[in-house]
């Protein structure tokens, strides 16, 4: 978002969800991944899933 000059509010409006949802993704404060939200973010941001998520083994 920062690289594209898009605000969290603009992204929330673009993917038709609440600001709070995007804000949690932005801060990395998600406990469950909603694949629909993930897909919409990737579509709007024109990116791949692995650009948004990082798997860290316990």
Give just the sign of the alpha carbon dihedral 28, 26, 12, 15: negative
Instruction: Say which residues have a Cβ less than 8 Å from residue 8's Cβ, sequence separation at least 6.
Output: 1, 19, 22, 23, 26
Distance separating alpha carbons of residues 28 and 26, to the nearest angstrom = 6
Helices within the chain (DSSP H only): 8-14, 19-27, 35-45
Phi, psi of 57 (to 5 degrees): -65, 145
What predicted TM-score, i.e. pTM, was given to this entire model?
Answer: 0.85
Choose between 56 and 9: higher pLDDT.
9
Report pLDDT digits (tens) over 6-53.
999 999 999 999 999 999 999 989 889 999 999 999 999 999 999 988
């Amino acid at each position: 978002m920062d690289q594209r000059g898009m605000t969290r509010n603009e992204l929330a409006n673009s993917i038709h969800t609440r600001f709070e949802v995007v804000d949690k993704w932005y801060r990395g404060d998600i406990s469950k991944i909603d694949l629909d939200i993930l897909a919409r973010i990737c579509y709007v941001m024109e990116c791949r899933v692995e650009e948004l998520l990082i798997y860290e083994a316990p």
